[in-house]
């Protein structure tokens, strides 16, 4: 699989074999692009923006996005199979969630009527004039995506940026570039003009840094770790690029004493064990009222025992692999540190005999007796590990939830909808699910508070992130105010 630059597939770069973390089988041979590849993609995007794309109508952009959604739909099983093989997530998840969700999100941007290029305003100080505020595109967008949900990330980076009138160079993770490169073929077949969308797989040091430092790139959209986000922000500051960052999370799931505990148990497990916890907004911190903690843990254990382990490429399997060996080591080290600091393992599935010998796996794990000072309560594990801390009042739960340096998402479980609104509105997070978790709508903005990021993706807010406002001040003729204003520096003879 080559990179996609200026409407063509190119093979300039290092040929790399990718193997599946699910079972060690060979997935694909990809070309990892270089700084030269990135510069050529920027050249193409810059030319396409000024010559073609900025002049297209919103309707034409949406027509092409609709065509793209249709083409992907026709190959949805192929996308699902390759997404699972490349990332190690279950094919069940990629088939029933990731790929269909991505297609529906392309369709959302292809059909939304919320985004307007301009609106008319009045100037109350100058009644004889009119104002037009335009949402003008930024230009060339450099987008850098993570390895955990590569297809969804490609959709989220491309669709709103393109709809807003920008061109783009997308750098998928060099660990999981396969479905983004597959998408390039459908982008070509959909009829997007050459250079509008460019996809270059490669490392951060080669491709990512080039995007962040080239003057022709007007904006960087990054999803990944907080530490990398800080470095990207520093590079972008050198030439004053706009930056949006969707970064780490340590999201709390709060269970009130009146919650439907069986519903909450299933939702909490979905919140942390989907994709083996390798999602930025995973609900990794369970904050539960002390009166229902034991009953809730008992219910969770029952459901966890029934989760099917096996090869994630088998449709019956429900436990995903860990996508990279480095991530597996990080999870292992953090759990070891947690138990050393006093956390107690109250559940850990034995899956060794059920999963492929050559796969990368960490067993679903629950750590109880976790205090706020422990590393596992403060740092993002990004794996299938749930920490449990109890509270005695709503005020204490809110304080615990907000004690994190992160603020990406939260869950809240209660039957009292009035209290849910009140508590939810006090949680410092970009998304608060009430009696649910992980359900993403293309119409809803997604992003974080505090060290979880800057800016938003999806929804109208996500489109507007890719724009800059221009104000046209229209005056048809000289007015009395003009005469007064001009008289401040010149007398009327």
Residue recorded with tokens 């793209």: 68
280 is catalytic: yes
Which residue of the set 280, 281, 379, 380 is catalytic?
280
Cα Rg of the chain (Å, integer)? 25
Residue numbers annotated as active site:
246, 280
């Amino acid at each position: 699989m080559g990179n996609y630059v200026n409407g063509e597939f190119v093979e300039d770069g290092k040929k790399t074999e990718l193997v599946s973390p699910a079972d060690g089988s060979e997935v694909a041979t990809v070309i990892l692009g270089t700084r030269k590849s990135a510069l050529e993609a920027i050249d193409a995007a810059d030319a396409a923006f000024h010559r073609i794309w900025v002049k297209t109508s919103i309707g034409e952009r949406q027509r092409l996005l609709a065509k793209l959604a249709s083409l992907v739909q026709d190959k949805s099983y192929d996308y699902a199979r390759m997404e699972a093989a490349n990332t190690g997530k279950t094919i069940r998840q990629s088939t029933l969630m990731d790929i269909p969700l991505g297609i529906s999100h392309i369709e959302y941007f292809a059909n939304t009527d919320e985004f307007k290029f301009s609106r008319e305003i009045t100037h109350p100080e100058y009644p004889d004039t009119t104002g037009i505020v335009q949402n003008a595109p930024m230009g060339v967008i450099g987008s850098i995506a993570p390895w955990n949900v590569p297809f969804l990330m490609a959709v989220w980076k491309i669709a709103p940026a393109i709809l807003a009138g920008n061109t783009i160079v997308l750098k998928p993770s060099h660990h999981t570039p396969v479905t983004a490169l597959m998408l390039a073929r459908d982008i070509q077949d959909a009829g997007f003009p050459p250079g509008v969308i460019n996809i270059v797989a490669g490392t951060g040091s080669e491709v990512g840094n080039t995007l962040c430092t080239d003057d022709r790139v007007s904006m960087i959209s990054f999803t990944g770790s907080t530490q990398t986000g800080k470095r990207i922000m520093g590079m972008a500051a050198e030439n004053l690029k706009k930056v949006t960052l969707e970064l780490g999370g340590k999201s709390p799931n709060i269970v009130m004493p009146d919650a439907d505990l069986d519903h909450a148990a299933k939702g909490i497990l979905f919140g942390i064990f989907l994709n083996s916890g390798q999602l930025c907004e995973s609900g990794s911190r369970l904050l539960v009222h002390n009166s229902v903690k034991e009953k809730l843990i008992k219910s969770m254990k029952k459901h966890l025992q029934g989760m099917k382990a096996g090869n994630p490429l088998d449709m019956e399997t429900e436990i995903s692999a860990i996508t990279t060996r480095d991530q597996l080591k990080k999870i292992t080290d953090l759990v070891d540190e947690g138990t050393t600091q006093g956390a107690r393992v109250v559940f850990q599935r034995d899956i060794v005999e059920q999963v492929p010998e050559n796969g990368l796996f960490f067993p679903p794990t629950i750590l109880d007796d976790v205090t706020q000072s422990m590393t596992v309560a403060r740092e993002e594990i990004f794996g299938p590990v749930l920490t449990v801390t109890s509270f005695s009042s709503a005020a204490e739960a809110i304080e615990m939830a907000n004690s994190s340096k992160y603020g990406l998402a939260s869950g809240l479980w209660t039957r009292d909808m009035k209290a849910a609104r009140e508590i939810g509105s006090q949680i410092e997070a970009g998304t608060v699910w009430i009696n649910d978790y992980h359900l993403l709508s293309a119409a809803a903005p997604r992003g974080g508070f505090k060290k979880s990021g800057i800016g938003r993706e999806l929804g109208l807010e996500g489109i507007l992130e890719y724009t800059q406002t221009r104000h046209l001040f229209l005056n048809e003729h000289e007015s009395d105010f003009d005469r007064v204003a001009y008289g401040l520096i010149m007398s009327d003879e």
